[in-house]
Copies of this chain bind each other. A is one copy, B any other.
Amino acid sequence: MKRTIVIFGTISIVIILLFQVSKFSLMNTQGFSDVFLIISGILFIALGYFITKLFYARKHTNSIQEIDIKRIKELNISKQELKVLGLMSDGLSNNEIAETLFITENTVKSHVSKILSKLNAKRRTEAVKIGRDLNII
């Protein structure tokens, strides 16, 4: 918020200054100067460039997919289930997941089953895909 205000304030000031400088230059010079016009144009283009870059940078960092906690809660997926899902997406077998989490394979199986039903998936590969698409993993 604060940052937004500072940035937009700065931009506004720069624009106003640009216009003022432009006006003075044009008014005080009798012989009109091509060079000035070109410089002025370039400055404005540069301004457009920075503004656009700013917005793009913002959008970009936002789209670097952070895990969607809200959706996890909506789907009623528990902590342990999420861990299991993550290990599934790493390509581990039920047995390997069991060893990683210090639980039995049977327990892993029951977690997996619940994950599949909650994500509406038929297979673990599908669950992983859905999990990825929903930004859950």
Which chain A residues have a beta carbon within 8 Å of chain B's beta carbons? Answer: 15, 18-19, 22-23, 26-27, 32, 34, 37-38, 40-41, 43-49, 51-53, 56, 60, 88-93, 121-130
A88 touches B47 (CB 8 A): no
Chain B residues, CB < 8 A from A15: 41
Counting every copy of the chain, the complex holds 2
What is the chain B residue whose CB lies nearest that of A47? Answer: B45
Contacting residues, chain B, for A22 (C-beta < 8 A): 37, 41
A129 to chain B: closest residue by CB:
B91
Interchain CA distance A41-B90 in the complex, whole Å? 50
A53 partner residues in chain B, CB cutoff 8 A:
52, 56
